[in-house]
Amino acid sequence: MNEILQIVLNSIFICLTSTTIATLFGVPIGLIMGMSTKRWIIKIRPIISSLAGLPPVLAGITIFLLLSNAGPLGSYRLLYTHTAIISAQVLIVLPLIIASVYPLVLPIKSSFLETCYGLHISNVKQLKYLVNELRYGILAAILIGFGRAMAEVGAVMMVGGNIRYKTRVMTTAIVLETNQGNYKTALILGVFLLFISFGINFIVHSVFKEVNHDSL
């Protein structure tokens, strides 16, 4: 049971970290892409959407090649560490969050910009107001990203190595235990995975519901 708890805590730490990093970059980029009228930004929107649907194993290969002994960052010995797993998950989650956020802006873009220009609101404040206006859609994008990070197996296995007491997470542990015929342990980990996903969704939605109620 101690090992299972360690695996669960490992998974939560890694997924929360990678999702937080992807959110800090992905949400502002998504909002800027949605608000921008520049032609080159409009042209790369489909590319970002395509990246959101690419096989995660490509992110694993990219990080593996960068961090392997023959790679440019091999001297830092980051392969098969938490850093490697987090880096791979950020590559997976980041385009997913961006591709989920920028379409939220498009329906309100014209009226929002007209209001901001009329009130002489700075670009920084525009982003702040936009986040508040689209907070539920942004929340959904973040939860989608977190769920993707929690469910990832291939890239995590490739760059993390599924090392016991070090880089083993719930998804890789479930695959390992199932292959070894330890179905009870695999089922327990699966239940933990399910409850964590439901729990985080419930907590986040409850917080936003409370905040929205207090603002009324």
Confidence of residue 37 (pLDDT cuts 50, 70, 90): confident
Confidence of residue 210 (pLDDT cuts 50, 70, 90): low
pLDDT digits (tens, 9 = 90+) for 42-56: 999 999 999 998 888
pLDDT digits (tens, 9 = 90+) for 5-20: 999 999 999 999 999 9
* Domain boundaries of the chain, sorted by first residue: 2-169
In this prediction, residues 147-173 reach a mean pLDDT of 93
3-class state of residue 168 by DSSP? coil
Confidence of residue 101 (pLDDT cuts 50, 70, 90): very high
Encoded tokens for 4: 């299972």
Residues 6 or more apart in contact with residue 91 via CB below 8 angstroms: 59, 62, 63
Encoded tokens for 118: 């009329």
* CATH number at 2-169: 1.10.3720.10
